[in-house]
A and B are shown apart, each in its own frame.
Chain A
Amino acid sequence: MRTAFVQTLIEEAERDGRIWLLTGDLGFSVLEPFIERFPGRFVNAGVAEQNMMGVAAGLALSGKIVFIYSIANFPTLRCLEQIRNDVCGHKLSVKIVTVGGGFSYGSHGYSHHGIEDIAVMRILPGLEIAVPADAAEARVLTRVFARTDGPSYLRLGRGREPAVHNSEPALPRGIPAPVKPGSGIALLAAGPVLGNCVKAAEGVNASGLDPAVYSMPWIKPMDADAVAAIAGRHEWLLTVEEATAAGGLGGAVAEILSGLPQPHARLKRLGTPDQILAGSQDQDSSRAIVGIGASELISAMLTLSKHTPPKTPKPADGPKRPCA
């Protein structure tokens, strides 16, 4: 996914001379092709993210479109006030790119778990947020952000993510991308963890379940009508993200559902809990522990299916059920 991002960025920078790239001293063996091609439009700002974000703002105020690259929470949490006051506060064309969202750097430890970013970035005004699931989505979204004015956040995996799409998907702004049709349960996933959802959706067939799967690369904007439509067609929405279960993709979907006047699917949000993982865990192990590995998703769906209200009404003297 990193390679897809850099290749697309180079194409866009060929097209648009305003595009610059900044890094916080990261990107070894990744960014070299851009650096070689456009040395005058590249800056390694060193391990100094607050200054880097300020420099990005200054460049953007001088007419540049600035991509800013780092890993995990470094280009976000470390310089959050600069993003808020300087970038968002002035609606600047700064495109924040992080590599290693979620547990991509799992065994590096808690400092390198980029899991709060989606929730935190979501509440900054005017900041568009995209979380591609595979290299194809990364290409599309890099292009979109390169050609859009204003602040953007692109959260990438690390590499070697399984391809979800056979060809480049359209990914209109804010719209969930259908990956697999189905009924009953709809899995809504943001990012490479979508691969686990596709596996799990297959894995539950044997138990008689046929869930739909959607990729949710657009966290913000998120089209409420599109989400409501999915919620109208299923009994359960299961959001899956390699990020906090609170406040990220699941939070955004919950906010939409809570405002709907009509009956809709119930919601189960899967993601990281309010806890720090103990010990060194690689990405697959971390995902399993927090419940977003393929096996764990299968178990979750089987549990949900036991709580699905029956399609036909119960007899009058049966136990009351809460509204769906």
Chain B
Amino acid sequence: MRLADRVRADALRMVARAGASHIGSSLSAVDILSVLYGGEILRVDPANPGRPDRDRLIFSKGHAAAACYAVLAESGFFPTSLLDSYCRNGSPLCGHVTSKGVPGVELSTGSLGHGLPVGCGMALAAARENKPWRVFVLMSDGECDEGSNWEAALFAGHHKLDNLTAIIDCNALQGMGEVKDILDLEPLADKWRSFRWAVREIDGHDHALIRDTLNALPVEKGKPSMILARTVKGKGVGFMENKLEWHYKSPDAAQLKQALDEVEKNTRNMR
């Protein structure tokens, strides 16, 4: 199975087992995460997660924890068996991304809008001291409602942090409905460009395109990079795709089986 399919399957099982929310949010991020951790993009060492010159990825979209933990486990940061303990009493794997006791996680998140400012601090430290490592921040589109992101946007643009790349998982849905009906972000690319970021808009499920885009960073020298990844909430499981309720619901046994079967079938079709 490809990494992305293993991550999808893991996330579905984790969420079902824990009776947890946010599977839709996890599924829309899986392809982006799989390319990042696929060995070509992020310069990280699962055997040495604290390596000083590593690239840093912040999961600012902390509610996509199932996908984040799954991609780290499947990449070798910790045993996949730990994933079974997601949201269980005593487990380090809390419902929102947690760094304590979880190798590979740079920052505990969960409250939106915290990741990009922290990423700016990390990027600034590297820039001022000519360190080679890069900073990536995975965000959600609903998260862009938080004003702290725009403070960070000003900061990164002003300080020309071209070692910083933000990726927004734009699945067009948020807590109570569609992004466009709650606080319409469009024109989103224009907004980031006006803050002096260099922007690329891509299909967030096209692995080749994601890879090519992330292999060509910074998008423009002297500017932080913004990748707007247009995605589908619940991607990979037909009955979950674009459905708001899968922000909240946990699949029951029958739904889990149906979902896993579909992921398995997609894997076979890829060969």
A167 to B: closest C-beta gap in Å: 38
Measured in the bound complex, the distance between the Cα atoms of B109 and A62 in whole Å is 17
When distances are taken between beta carbons in the complex, the residues of chain B under 8 Å from A45 are 155
Contact digits for A55-70, partner B, Cβ 8 Å, 1 yes 0 no: 1111111111000000
When distances are taken between beta carbons in the complex, the residues of chain B under 8 Å from A81 are 111, 114
Q: Is the CB of B114 within 8 A of A54?
A: yes
Q: Is the CB of B121 within 8 A of A48?
A: no
Given the contacts A61-B118, A62-B126, A51 and B111 also touching, CB distance less than 8 Å: no
When distances are taken between beta carbons in the complex, the residues of chain B under 8 Å from A50 are 113, 117, 147-148, 151
What is the interface of chain A mostly: helix, strand, loop, or mixed?
helix
Q: Is the CB of B154 within 8 A of A59?
A: no
B52 to A: closest C-beta gap in Å: 8
Q: Is the CB of B119 within 8 A of A58?
A: yes
* From A40, A62, A90, contact of B121 by CB (8 A): A62
Measured in the bound complex, the distance between the Cα atoms of B135 and A54 in whole Å is 14
What is the interface of chain B mostly: helix, strand, loop, or mixed?
helix
When distances are taken between beta carbons in the complex, the residues of chain A under 8 Å from B47 are none
Q: Does A85 touch B at the CB level, under 8 Å? A: yes
Measured in the bound complex, the distance between the Cα atoms of B120 and A50 in whole Å is 12
Q: Does B83 touch A at the CB level, under 8 Å? A: no
Q: Does A82 touch B at the CB level, under 8 Å? A: yes
In chain A, positions 17-63 with a C-beta closer than 8 Å to chain B are: 40-41, 43, 45-46, 48, 50-63
Q: Does A12 touch B at the CB level, under 8 Å? A: no
* From B108, B113, B124, B155, contact of A59 by CB (8 A): B124
A45, A54, A57: most-surrounded residue (chain B CB, <10 A): A54
* From A40, A60, A89, contact of B128 by CB (8 A): A40
A93 to B: closest C-beta gap in Å: 13
Q: Is the CB of A54 within 8 A of B108?
A: no
B135 to A: closest C-beta gap in Å: 8
When distances are taken between beta carbons in the complex, the residues of chain B under 8 Å from A48 are 151, 154-155
Closest to A79 in B: B148
Given the contacts A85-B108, A85-B111, A86-B114, A51 and B126 also touching, CB distance less than 8 Å: no
B123 to A: closest C-beta gap in Å: 8
Closest to B148 in A: A50
Q: Is the CB of B107 within 8 A of A86?
A: yes
Q: Is the CB of A54 within 8 A of B118?
A: yes
When distances are taken between beta carbons in the complex, the residues of chain A under 8 Å from B148 are 50-51, 54, 82
* From A46, A55, A63, A64, contact of B118 by CB (8 A): A55
A179 to B: closest C-beta gap in Å: 40
Contact digits for B86-128, partner A, Cβ 8 Å, 1 yes 0 no: 0000000000000100000011111101101111111111101
Closest to B113 in A: A50
Given the contacts A43-B124, A48-B155, A55 and B106 also touching, CB distance less than 8 Å: no
Q: Is the CB of A54 within 8 A of B125?
A: no
Measured in the bound complex, the distance between the Cα atoms of B156 and A48 in whole Å is 13
B109, B110, B117, B151: most-surrounded residue (chain A CB, <10 A): B117
Measured in the bound complex, the distance between the Cα atoms of B50 and A61 in whole Å is 11
Measured in the bound complex, the distance between the Cα atoms of B116 and A51 in whole Å is 8
A262 to B: closest C-beta gap in Å: 39
B97 to A: closest C-beta gap in Å: 12
When distances are taken between beta carbons in the complex, the residues of chain A under 8 Å from B110 are 85
When distances are taken between beta carbons in the complex, the residues of chain B under 8 Å from A62 are 121-122, 125-126
Q: Does B152 touch A at the CB level, under 8 Å? A: yes
When distances are taken between beta carbons in the complex, the residues of chain A under 8 Å from B99 are 90
When distances are taken between beta carbons in the complex, the residues of chain B under 8 Å from A89 are 108
B65 to A: closest C-beta gap in Å: 15
Measured in the bound complex, the distance between the Cα atoms of B124 and A57 in whole Å is 12
Measured in the bound complex, the distance between the Cα atoms of B111 and A82 in whole Å is 10
When distances are taken between beta carbons in the complex, the residues of chain B under 8 Å from A60 are 121
A41, A63, A86: most-surrounded residue (chain B CB, <10 A): A86
Contact digits for A228-250, partner B, Cβ 8 Å, 1 yes 0 no: 00000000000000000000000
Measured in the bound complex, the distance between the Cα atoms of B111 and A41 in whole Å is 29
Q: Is the CB of A51 within 8 A of B119?
A: no
Q: Is the CB of B121 within 8 A of A58?
A: yes
When distances are taken between beta carbons in the complex, the residues of chain A under 8 Å from B147 are 50
A92 to B: closest C-beta gap in Å: 10
* From B108, B109, B125, B128, contact of A58 by CB (8 A): B125
When distances are taken between beta carbons in the complex, the residues of chain A under 8 Å from B122 are 58-59, 61-62
Measured in the bound complex, the distance between the Cα atoms of B148 and A58 in whole Å is 14
Measured in the bound complex, the distance between the Cα atoms of B120 and A60 in whole Å is 12
Closest to B120 in A: A55
B105 to A: closest C-beta gap in Å: 11
B236 to A: closest C-beta gap in Å: 31
Measured in the bound complex, the distance between the Cα atoms of B121 and A9 in whole Å is 21
B271 to A: closest C-beta gap in Å: 41
Q: Is the CB of B118 within 8 A of A58?
A: yes
Given A53-B117, A58-B117, A58-B123, 7 extra CB contacts under 8 A: A46-B151, A55-B118, A56-B121, A62-B125, A63-B125, A85-B109, A90-B108
Across the A-B interface, give the 5 residue pairs with the lowest CB-CB distance, nearest first: A58-B121, A54-B117, A51-B151, A62-B125, A48-B151
- 29 pairs, CB–CB < 8 Å, chain A vs chain B: A43-B124, A46-B155, A48-B151, A50-B147, A50-B151, A51-B117, A51-B120, A51-B148, A51-B152, A51-B154, A52-B117, A54-B121, A54-B152, A55-B120, A55-B124, A56-B121, A57-B118, A58-B118, A58-B121, A58-B124, A59-B122, A61-B122, A62-B122, A62-B126, A82-B148, A85-B109, A85-B110, A85-B114, A90-B108
